Structure formats: structure tokens, C-alpha cells
């Protein structure tokens, strides 16, 4: 049976977290002389001279309302990338523990694991980019702490089958992290409603994609209060800066315009798919539940280089295992997509 207590590293269990000035006193006062801030103001007018809320209370309330999730189930990171790093640091002993990744997938699970000196075991996705349940089970031992899954998956674009994810949540004796960075573009819903049913589930989401706020660096982990408390204990006290907290609180009011953009992107994705499929050098366009298409072409390196000469940069995934021949193309604006298609048609004409 899964017990998060068995997964937390001993040094993290023992850890007395840093108490910031705002932890030791957070009531009302007229004069704050406790945090060595600049009392005269900032280089940016009279703003930002005070440390931001280390617990991001207002933000967690607002995200909780948006996601219909209690603040106790929410961790906010400096991008999902910080959530990934903290999960390693809280749960995996360097040099001893291991985790499982399912390539081709998001590269940070592996890089971040290596930085933390965690053994990376790989259970490649099957040909249809679904998880290989048998391989995952065969790789699991008593030191396996985390299974990293990405749905919709980057770079393939597809969602993992729901029954496969439920099976893994039930049978994998460790944390099952499902990275839902692209979930707002997917036909299937988030696994958020399953949070209460699976104590080993951690969901990652981000404001970098559908919400279009990549520069602000705001990632979210949703999990049991027990897991969230440990992540909060280990994070740097002020990991979400004041400007980000302010701007995101305002931006979260814009759900309607986010939805509009998301719908336009989905329309554009299907137009792009249709047009790309007409090109003679396109061999396959994989199903996508995200804001990009993985496209298998003849001569990917040449097409990639050609597009660069036209000022268009796509992601060359040709060298990635499981993605031979593939370019990953983010859906652009209608104009950008048209420009891309014109370039590719030109490439066709010049290459025959």
C-alpha cells in the first residue's frame, strides 16, 4: 500500500524549515522594521520594496476557485520545472533511489533527475505513444520513487489512455506524476477530480501554455495536503515573486478570453493538420491533444534548415528516440501558419 511517509527522505522529514520575517509576524502593523527591506522605497517607484507573501495565500485561493480545488491541495512553483526539482529533492535519495520515465517525453524529468543524482530508468512509450505497463512494472523495485507521465505528452501530443493511467495509479507503489501542461487543449478532462481517490497522484499544470504566461514562471502541483505540505516546507521562501503574484491574480480573471484563444488555436491546429497532410513529403501527422503537431517528414534536417532560411523555427525532434523523422510544430497565429504553409509549399516546388 502507498504511504507517502515511506517516500519522504529522512533529512526532509527532520527538516526544520526556514522561518521568514513574514512567517514570524504576519498581522497588521504600521511600521515594518523586521525584514531589512528598503523603507525608503524601490528603484521602481514605490512598488516591490516589500517581500511578497511566501505562502501565496491570495493566489492559492484564486487558483483553487478556478480549478475547484482546496488551497491545501495546491503547490505553486517557479514554473513546473521547480515542482519537478522539488519532487526529486523531497522523495529521492541521491545515489540510492530511482525513477521511471517514458520517452519520448519532456526532457526535464531526466535532466533534473541527473542533477539530483537519481538513477533514471526508461520504459519507452509504445508505437502509439501509450505507456508500456509491463515494462514499467518490470523496472520497478523497492527504490523506485517516482513514475513520470506526461498527458498530453510532449513531443507526441497525445493523451495517455485513461484506463492505463488508472491502472498505474492503483498498482504503482510510488508517486505517479502526471504532467498536464497541455490539458486545456485536450478533449479529455484533467485528472484533478481523481485527486481524492489516489494518495500517490501528483498533477502538474502550468500557466505557460493555454494561459500564455510563460514569462511569469508559474507552475502548479496538485496533490494530497500531506504531499503539498512537504513541497512547501522545502521550497525557497519567496519562490513566486511579487510581480508574478500581482499580475497572475489579475490575469486569472480573464478565463473567458483564454478560452477564446484556446478554441482558435484548436481550429488552427486542425487547419494546419489538413494542409500539412497535402504535402508530398509529409509521411504522418500524429494525433494531437495539445497546441502543437508532431509531423513525420522525409528529410527532416533539410526541411528544418530550409525553414530557418525563411525565418521560421520549428523544433527538430529527429534525433530523439521514437521520433525519427519528426518535426514538432507549435500552432501559430493564422498569419504565421499561412506563412509556414507557403514556405513549405515553396520547399516542395524547389525540391522536385
Ligand X SMILES: *Cc1c(COP(=O)(O)O)cnc(C)c1O
> Where do contacts with ligand X occur on this chain (CB under 6 A)?
79-81, 106, 150, 154, 179, 181, 206, 208-209, 214, 219
C-alpha cell at 54: 511566501
Taking the complex as a whole, the smallest distance from the CB of residue 115 to ligand X amounts, in Å, to 15
Is the four-CA dihedral 159, 262, 257, 182 of positive or negative sign?
Answer: positive
Alpha-carbon distance of 251 to 212, in angstroms, equals 10
Q: By C-beta, is 180 or 347 nearer to ligand X?
A: 180
Q: Phi and psi for 75 in degrees, rounded to 5?
A: -115, 140
C-alpha cell at 87: 519532487
The SS3 of residue 98 is strand
* Residues forming beta bridges with residue 295, ordered by sequence position: 285, 327
Taking the complex as a whole, the smallest distance from the CB of residue 128 to ligand X amounts, in Å, to 19
Taking the complex as a whole, the smallest distance from the CB of residue 322 to ligand X amounts, in Å, to 15
Taking the complex as a whole, the smallest distance from the CB of residue 320 to ligand X amounts, in Å, to 14
Q: By C-beta, is 64 or 212 nearer to ligand X?
A: 212
Q: Are 92 and 146 in contact (CB under 8 A)?
A: yes
Taking the complex as a whole, the smallest distance from the CB of residue 197 to ligand X amounts, in Å, to 23
Taking the complex as a whole, the smallest distance from the CB of residue 352 to ligand X amounts, in Å, to 35
Q: How far apart are the first and last CA of the chain?
A: 61
Taking the complex as a whole, the smallest distance from the CB of residue 85 to ligand X amounts, in Å, to 10
- The DSSP result for 113-146, as a single string, is HHHTT-EEEE----TTS---HHHHHHH--TTEEE
Q: By C-beta, is 22 or 104 nearer to ligand X?
A: 104
Taking the complex as a whole, the smallest distance from the CB of residue 29 to ligand X amounts, in Å, to 35
Q: By C-beta, is 220 or 340 nearer to ligand X?
A: 220
Q: By C-beta, is 282 or 327 nearer to ligand X?
A: 327
Q: By C-beta, is 124 or 343 nearer to ligand X?
A: 124
Q: By C-beta, is 80 or 337 nearer to ligand X?
A: 80
Q: By C-beta, is 150 or 160 nearer to ligand X?
A: 150
Q: Which residue has the cell 497525445?
A: 158
- Return the C-alpha torsion angle 37, 229, 5, 218, nearest 10: -90
Q: By C-beta, is 81 or 232 nearer to ligand X?
A: 81
Q: Are 76 and 213 in contact (CB under 8 A)?
A: no
Whether the upstream peptide bond of residue 152 has omega within 30° of 0, thus cis, is yes
Cα distances (angstroms) measured from residue 91 to each of 7, 55, 175, 181, 219: 5, 21, 9, 22, 19
Chain position whose Cβ is nearest to ligand X: 79
Of the CA atoms within 13 Å of residue 268, those in its CB half-sphere come to 22
Taking the complex as a whole, the smallest distance from the CB of residue 325 to ligand X amounts, in Å, to 21
Close Cβ partners of 109 (under 8 Å, ≥ 6 residues apart)? 84, 99, 101, 120, 148
Amino acid at each position: 500500500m502507498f504511504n507517502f511517509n515511506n517516500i519522504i527522505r529522512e533529512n526532509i522529514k527532520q527538516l526544520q524549515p526556514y522561518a521568514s520575517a513574514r512567517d514570524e509576524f504576519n498581522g497588521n502593523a504600521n511600521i515594518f522594521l523586521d525584514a531589512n527591506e528598503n523603507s525608503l522605497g524601490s528603484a521602481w517607484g514605490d512598488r516591490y520594496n516589500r517581500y511578497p507573501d511566501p505562502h501565496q495565500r491570495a493566489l492559492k485561493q484564486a487558483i483553487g476557485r478556478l480549478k475547484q480545488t482546496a488551497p491545501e491541495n495546491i503547490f505553486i512553483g517557479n514554473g513546473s520545472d521547480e515542482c519537478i526539482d522539488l519532487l526529486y529533492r523531497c522523495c529521492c535519495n541521491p545515489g540510492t533511489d530511482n525513477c521511471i520515465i517514458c520517452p519520448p517525453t519532456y526532457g526535464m524529468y531526466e535532466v533534473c533527475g541527473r542533477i539530483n543524482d537519481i538513477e533514471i530508468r526508461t520504459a519507452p512509450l509504445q508505437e502509439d505513444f501509450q505507456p508500456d505497463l509491463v515494462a514499467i512494472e518490470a523496472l520497478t523495485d523497492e527504490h523506485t520513487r517516482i513514475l513520470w507521465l506526461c498527458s498530453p505528452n510532449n513531443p507526441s501530443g497525445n493523451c495517455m489512455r485513461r484506463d492505463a493511467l488508472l491502472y498505474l495509479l492503483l498498482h504503482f507503489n510510488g508517486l505517479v506524476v502526471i504532467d498536464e501542461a497541455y490539458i486545456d487543449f485536450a478533449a479529455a478532462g484533467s485528472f484533478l477530480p481523481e485527486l481524492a481517490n489516489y494518495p500517490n497522484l501528483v498533477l502538474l499544470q502550468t500557466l505557460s501554455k493555454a494561459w500564455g504566461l510563460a514569462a511569469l514562471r508559474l507552475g502548479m502541483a496538485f496533490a494530497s495536503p500531506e504531499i503539498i505540505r512537504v513541497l512547501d516546507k522545502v521550497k525557497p521562501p519567496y519562490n513566486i515573486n511579487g510581480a508574478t503574484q500581482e499580475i497572475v491574480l489579475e490575469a486569472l480573471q480573464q478565463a473567458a478570453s483564454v478560452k477564446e484563444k484556446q478554441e482558435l488555436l484548436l481550429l488552427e491546429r486542425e487547419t494546419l493538420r489538413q494542409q500539412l497532410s497535402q504535402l508530398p513529403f509529409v509521411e504522418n501527422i500524429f494525433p494531437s491533444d495539445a497546441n502543437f503537431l508532431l509531423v513525420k517528414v522525409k528529410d527532416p534536417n533539410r526541411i528544418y534548415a530550409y525553414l530557418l532560411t525563411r525565418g521560421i523555427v520549428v523544433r527538430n525532434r529527429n534525433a530523439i528516440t521514437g521520433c525519427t523523422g519528426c518535426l514538432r510544430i507549435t500552432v501559430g497565429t493564422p498569419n504565421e501558419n499561412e506563412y509556414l504553409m507557403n514556405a513549405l509549399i515553396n520547399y516542395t516546388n524547389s525540391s522536385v
